[in-house]
Amino acid sequence: MTTNAPSDPRRSLRPLSRLLPYLLKHKGMVLAALAALFSAAIITLILPAAVRRMIDSGFGADDPALVNSYFAVLIGVVCALACASSVRYFLVMWLGERVVAEVRADVFAHMTRLSPSFYDSAKSGEILSRLTADTTQIKAAFGASASLAMRNTIMFTGASVMMVVTSPRLSVIVLAAIPIILIPIIGFGRKVRKRSRFAQDMLADASAYAGEMLGSVRTLQAFTHESRSSGIYRSAVETAFTAARQAITARAALTGFAILVIGSSIVAVLWIGASDVFAGRMTGGELSQFLLYSILAAGSLAALSEVWGELSQAAGAAERLSELLEITPEIRAPLNPIPLPDTPRGEIRFEDMSFAYQAAGNLPVVQDLTLTIAPGEKVAVVGPSGAGKSTLFSLLMRFYDPTSGAIRMNGVDLRDLDPDALRRNIALVPQDTAVFGASIAENIAYGLPDAKRQDIINAATAALASPFIETMTNGYDTLVGERGITLSGGQRQRIAIARAVLKQAPVLLLDEATSALDAESEQLVQRALDQLMEGRTTLIIAHRLATVLKADRIVVMDEGRIVETGTHQQLSAAGGLYAKLADLQFGNGKEAKAV
């Protein structure tokens, strides 16, 4: 995956424009926020002028009544400022939260649609870090930094103009200090950005590592890997800390420098201004007004330097998210998909098909495979480990497209079908059953969330899962741990079979569906599966040949090719690979006949 390389020069804020459509969905709120932003800035800019008039006309004229009325107006101005600022804060933060909620939901929805080939090489921990850490940065940018940037730009421009209007002479001193501050800000800022991006990359890697390790905590402990894992994580976190420390050092130096230059220029202004007041070249009120404007201008400039760093970090985050959103799923529905009939017959044809996984360097895994499976036929696929059996199932589900040749269902090339429609017609019992941290009933109804409770119970009964479910504290409403950790392998497998029973699809794919069951349960579940297979096109992968004896046909695969086909008797008699496998398991096939 192309990720956030620290050397990547992401200085521009352009990636943030990718988020504009999200903002534009809430035009009313954006306009209201801008109005509040401008009002607050303008009111703040009015304040110094009001102070000057109060000093010059009130104190200067020695008129307490005037001073009182000025104070009353000032309180009104402060109230308006308070209202505008709190409305601004609410609207801007609301927009930040809203945009991020929508970006997160869109990125997740997009990720669920990416083909399995993407996940063959992607790190899920790293993607999670983008979904959480990067979106949080964007929230900060939209919620606070963008509004701060706008507010401070308005304030800086307004205060600078007002300074020149108030005293062009003193303005020269303050404005001369600006380049002295800006030049190091740009230099330091670049360093800050580079180091903090690096710190984030290291943290993302560390989170990916932590996610993987904690997800397999039993293996970690079984192999006493605790200290090593902790050490690896600690050193990643330490590297992130070092990078963050360098960024902080640069930022601290920058802050000190900015305060020194700004403070000195203000003192200089005050000094020169005071002598101007003594000499009668300006009034005390004018000096106060100028001073307040220069403090506002300096404060805005300092805030802008800080915000700039945050905005460019957010731009980096937006870019990382855009990268994810720009990945197009390899498997997509065609523009005009051919509809499958309401009750498809379930005929499957592999036509001179070859396939290679990109992630495995395009080495052919299935080669020149031709096979037709009639509707309702039960075909067993056997062969040594790594022969390409599960890959056939993945291709049938259209998780991948063949490199050459075609696969057809009811005569239609899978690439001409909508993948959703295709998958609705296939029930898969995979090798590694995925059970989720939800209730047992929700897990069984995973493919059919609207299923009736009675249908769920019937499916569980058929899959022989009801006896263990009924002994659980809350029966079908019992929550299972994350990834079904609180269930045994056999229990998980029965949940998967119940799922397939509930789905009632015309094509059934069983990949080692009973491998985790004890002999007795296997026989019972097998009976349930026999019933389920009735009238359905079924492909069965099984290492235990006892499971495949009842198949209408057995296909033997080796190194991605079909090497034999026939019934158990025919293949045992042929003396090929199947006979060898059967011999190893049954001893001359004698016991096989007994099964």
Ligand X SMILES: Nc1ncnc2c1ncn2[C@@H]1O[C@H](COP(=O)(O)OP(=O)(O)OP(=O)(O)O)[C@@H](O)[C@H]1O
- How large is the angle between the packed helices 519-533 and 489-503, nearest 10 degrees? 10
The Cα–Cα gap between 537 and 341 comes to 16
Burial 416-428 (b: 16+ CB within 10 A, else e): ebbbeebbbbbbb
Least separation in angstroms between residue 1's CB and ligand X is 15
Least separation in angstroms between CB 355 and ligand X: 9
- Among residues 276, 302, 301, which one has the least CA distance to residue 288? 276
Q: How far is the CB of 226 from ligand X (least distance, A)?
A: 30
Residue closer to ligand X (CB basis): 275 or 404: 404
Half-sphere exposure of 515 (CA within 13 A, CB side): 15
Q: Which is nearer to ligand X, 120 or 534 (CB)?
A: 120
- Answer for which of 365, 426, 508, 562 binds ligand X (CB under 6 A) is 365
Closer to ligand X by CB, 120 or 470: give it.
120
Part in contact with ligand X (CB under 6 A); list of ranges 13-21, 51-59, 180-188, 384-392: 384-392
Task: In angstroms, give the least distance from the CB of 396 to ligand X.
Answer: 12
By beta-carbon proximity to ligand X, the closer residue of 502 and 516 is 516
CB of 366 to ligand X, least distance (A): 8
Choose the stretch contacting ligand X; rule: CB under 6 A; options: 9-17, 30-38, 73-81, 381-389: 381-389
Extract the runs of DSSP E, i.e. beta strands, from 290-339: none
* Residue from 152, 390, 493, 572 in contact with ligand X (CB under 6 A): 390
Q: Residue 390 CB, nearest distance to ligand X (Å)?
A: 3
Q: Contacting ligand X (CB under 6 A), which of 64, 341, 386, 575? A: 386
| Residues 170 and 268 sit within 8 Å (Cβ to Cβ) | no
State how far the alpha carbon of 344 is from the alpha carbons of 154, 341, 371, 535, in Å: 66, 5, 19, 12
CB burial of residue 496 (10 Å; 0-12, 13-18, 19+)? buried
The site string for ligand X over 402-441 (x = CB under 6 A, - otherwise) reads: -----------------------------x----------
DSSP H or E stretch at residue 537: strand 537-541
By CB under 6 A, how many residues form the interface with ligand X? 14
**Using rule CB under 6 A, residue 325 touches ligand X:** no
Cα 430 → chain centroid: 25
Span of 233-241, 357-365, 406-414, 489-497 interacting with ligand X by CB under 6 A: 357-365
CA separation for the pair 177, 520 (Å, rounded): 87
Residue from the set 79, 360, 434, 573 that interacts with ligand X by CB under 6 A: 360
Rounded-to-integer distance, Cα 377 and Cα 508, Å: 10
Give the nearer residue to ligand X in terms of CB position, either 46 or 122.
Answer: 122
φ, ψ of residue 507 in degrees (nearest 5): -115, 135
Minimum distance from residue 387 beta carbon to ligand X (Å): 4
Q: Which residue has the tokens 């130096």?
A: 253
Q: Compose the 105-124 pattern: x for residues touching ligand X by CB under 6 A, - for all others.
A: ---------------x----
**Percent composition of the chain: helix, strand, coil (DSSP 3-state, to 5):** 65, 10, 25
The pairing of strands 348-356 and 404-409 is antiparallel
Told to check if 388 binds ligand X by CB under 6 A, we report yes
**C-beta closer to ligand X: residue 99 or 545:** 545
Which of residues 302 and 371 has its CB atom nearest to ligand X in the complex? 371
Residues 447, 418 contacting (CB under 8 angstroms): no
Residue 46 burial class via C-beta count within 10 angstroms: exposed 0-12, middle 13-18, buried 19 and up: middle
DSSP symbol at 405? E
* Closer Cβ to ligand X, 359 or 573, answer by number: 359
CB of 576 to ligand X, least distance (A): 17
Residue among 389, 423, 492, 536 that touches ligand X (CB under 6 A):
389
Amino acid in the structure at residue 435:
V
Interface with ligand X by CB under 6 A: which range of 102-110, 355-363, 415-423, 484-492? 355-363
Minimum CB separation from ligand X for residue 385, in Å? 3
Q: Coil, helix or strand for 226?
A: helix
Least spacing, CB of residue 538 vs ligand X, in Å: 17
The owner of tokens 């036509």 is 351
Note whether 359 binds ligand X by CB under 6 A: yes
Distance CA 521, CA 19 (A): 55
> Of the ranges 122-130, 242-250, 354-362, 548-556, which one interacts with ligand X (CB under 6 A)?
354-362
Binding-site ranges for ligand X (CB under 6 A)? 120, 357, 359-360, 365, 383, 385-391, 431
